């Protein structure tokens, strides 16, 4: 599938998609083989019809998406306190979640915020009618590392009942994550300060190479009995970008609220997009519900994550050998698909953030030399 291109005249490091070792000549990512195979099956399956999906999504998909996030034996699921809704990508999940918070959360007090959020989704919350959006610090500038201290400090100062948006995986805005120990401290603050967690989980499986490990922060909070929302994206983990597969997970304290929230969700969806698109959800459900597919997918994310680690190590080593100024330890301390280079102007990446997976054995030298050049050339 595709030719190995050994002569790069450009490298698309700002490419958003996860790239495999072999890329297309135009720099765009190839479809993962498993996904391509399933799409072929779907396109030739005579039993599949094209009728509307239910408003809240394909049940087989929402069931599997919930399972992927929370695990098989989650108490909250067993106690029927969990609702899963298929959405139009992660943005759709955040938008729907924000609208549901507006109509449900602390309804008796007319709550309208604040929402603490470190990521670019603040406009979504505002558009959903929650204008009081605030930043919290989450990393140490200059060290390119997550700052547990800053996070806890800001959250301790947040008013009770505030909603806090948290990245469960190393995706945005900093390509780094907190340790389990740090997460335990954070969860403790959430509990004590009565804060409502709204998790964003993108690229589950790609950070630590294991979907269960990547979901640990989310599962830990659920195990503590916290009420929370989680917006899941399947773009990176499944190579399904244009298909817009997303999922909104609602974990409630009482299952008595479930039916009412479900009807509110149906009503909200009706005015947003009416029903979600099915292709991507069908693909994900096919992967997650078939043991052979599931095993192949797990192996895929594991090796993608491993490849990221290797690339980071090699890049760091090359930069060190070239004598590129600065410390590059953060390259190997960060996890996930992206890394922050600290470059302030770079023609090939936005905001100094580059897609690690777009680097491969063919273009590695070129990339390292370019970074070195960018830092050492007079402006």
User: Taking CB under 8 A as the criterion, which residues in 78-117 touch another protein?
Assistant: 88-92, 95, 104-109
| DSSP state for residue 131 in the 8-state scheme | -
Nearest distance in Å: CB 216, another protein: 20
Nearer to another protein, 195 or 208 (CB): 195
Nearest distance in Å: CB 140, another protein: 29
Sorted by sequence, the CB contacts under 8 Å of residue 327 that are 6+ apart come out as none
Nearest distance in Å: CB 231, another protein: 12
Q: Rule CB under 8 A: say whether 4 interacts with another protein.
A: no
| β-pair partners for 340 | 353
Q: Rule CB under 8 A: say whether 275 interacts with another protein.
A: yes
Structure tokens at 61: 């998909």
Structure tokens at 269: 């969806």
Burial class (CB in 10 A: 0-12, 13-18, 19+), 343: middle
Q: Are 85 and 62 in contact (CB under 8 A)?
A: yes
Q: Rule CB under 8 A: say whether 127 interacts with another protein.
A: yes
Binding mask 285-304 for another protein (x = CB under 8 A): --------------------
Nearer to another protein, 46 or 323 (CB): 46
Question: Which residues 162-221 are close enough to bind another protein by CB under 8 A?
Answer: 191, 194
Nearer to another protein, 277 or 309 (CB): 277
The C-alpha angle 301, 303, 309, rounded to 5 degrees, equals: 105
Q: Rule CB under 8 A: say whether 36 interacts with another protein.
A: yes
Nearest distance in Å: CB 48, another protein: 8
CA separation for the pair 219, 109 (Å, rounded): 29
Binding mask 218-237 for another protein (x = CB under 8 A): ------xxxx-------x--
Q: Name the strands in the sheet holding 163-167, side by side, starting at the edge strand that comes first in the sequence.
A: 82-88, 245-251, 228-233, 196-201, 163-167, 115-116, 133-134
Nearest distance in Å: CB 105, another protein: 8
Question: Which residues 234-253 are close enough to bind another protein by CB under 8 A?
Answer: 235, 239-244, 253
Residue from 20, 55, 155, 311 touching another protein (CB under 8 A): that is 55
Question: Which residues 328-347 are close enough to bind another protein by CB under 8 A?
Answer: none
Sorted by sequence, the CB contacts under 8 Å of residue 294 that are 6+ apart come out as 287, 288
Mark out the alpha helices in the chain (DSSP H runs).
33-43, 59-70, 75-78, 89-104, 122-127, 148-156, 180-192, 211-214, 216-223, 235-238, 258-272, 279-289, 291-322, 329-333, 364-376
Residue from 4, 157, 259, 321 touching another protein (CB under 8 A): that is 259
Residue from 3, 7, 9, 51 touching another protein (CB under 8 A): that is 51
Nearest distance in Å: CB 374, another protein: 25
Q: Rule CB under 8 A: say whether 161 interacts with another protein.
A: yes
Closest CA to 248 of 97, 69, 71: 97
Residue in the structure block whose two tokens are 């924000």: 98
Q: Rule CB under 8 A: say whether 257 interacts with another protein.
A: yes
Nearer to another protein, 258 or 375 (CB): 258
What is the β-pairing status of strands 163-167 and 115-116?
parallel
Number of residues that bind another protein (CB under 8 A): 72
Q: Please identify, among the stretches 50-58, 165-173, 175-183, 334-342, the one whose residues bind another protein according to the rule CB under 8 A.
A: 50-58
Q: Are 311 and 364 in contact (CB under 8 A)?
A: yes
Nearer to another protein, 178 or 195 (CB): 195
Residue from 20, 23, 39, 172 touching another protein (CB under 8 A): that is 39
Residue in the structure block whose two tokens are 């597969």: 245
Q: Are 248 and 85 in contact (CB under 8 A)?
A: yes
Nearest distance in Å: CB 337, another protein: 14
Q: Rule CB under 8 A: say whether 309 interacts with another protein.
A: no
Q: Rule CB under 8 A: say whether 137 interacts with another protein.
A: no
């Amino acid at each position: 599938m595709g030719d190995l291109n050994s002569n790069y005249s450009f490298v698309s490091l700002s490419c958003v998609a996860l790239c495999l070792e072999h890329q297309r000549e135009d720099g765009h990512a190839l479809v993962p083989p498993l996904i391509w195979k399933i799409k072929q099956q779907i396109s030739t399956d005579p039993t599949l019809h094209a009728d509307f999906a239910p408003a809240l999504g394909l049940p087989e998909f929402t069931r599997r998406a919930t399972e992927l996030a929370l695990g098989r034996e989650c108490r909250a699921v067993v106690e029927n306190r969990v609702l899963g809704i298929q959405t139009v990508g992660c943005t759709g999940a955040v938008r729907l979640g924000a609208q549901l918070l507006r109509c449900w959360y602390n309804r008796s007090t007319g709550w309208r915020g604040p929402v603490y959020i470190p990521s670019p989704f603040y406009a979504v919350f505002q558009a959903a009618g929650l204008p009081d959006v605030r930043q919290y610090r989450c990393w140490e500038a200059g060290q390119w590392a997550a700052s547990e201290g800053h996070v806890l400090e800001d959250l301790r100062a947040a008013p009770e009942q505030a909603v806090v948006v948290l990245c469960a995986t190393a995706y945005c805005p900093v390509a780094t994550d907190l340790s389990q120990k740090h997460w335990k401290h954070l969860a403790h603050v959430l509990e004590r300060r009565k804060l409502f967690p709204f998790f964003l989980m993108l690229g589950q499986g790609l950070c630590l190479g294991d979907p269960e490990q990547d979901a640990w922060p989310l599962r830990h909070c659920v195990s503590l009995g916290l009420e929370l929302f989680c917006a899941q994206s399947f773009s990176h983990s499944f190579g399904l970008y244009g298909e817009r597969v997303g999922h909104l997970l609602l974990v409630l304290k009482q299952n008595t609220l479930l039916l009412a929230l479900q009807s509110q969700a149906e009503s909200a969806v009706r005015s947003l997009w009416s029903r979600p698109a099915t292709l991507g959800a069908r693909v994900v459900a096919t992967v997650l519900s078939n043991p052979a597919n599931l095993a192949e997918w797990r192996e895929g994310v594991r090796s993608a994550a491993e490849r990221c680690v290797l690339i980071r190590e090699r890049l760091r080593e090359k930069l060190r050998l070239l004598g590129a100024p600065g410390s590059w330890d953060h390259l190997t301390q960060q996890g996930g698909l992206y890394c922050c280079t600290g470059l302030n102007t770079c023609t090939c990446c936005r905001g100094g953030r580059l897609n690690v997976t777009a680097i491969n054995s063919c273009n590695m030298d070129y990339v390292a030399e370019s970074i070195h050049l960018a830092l050492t050339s007079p402006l």
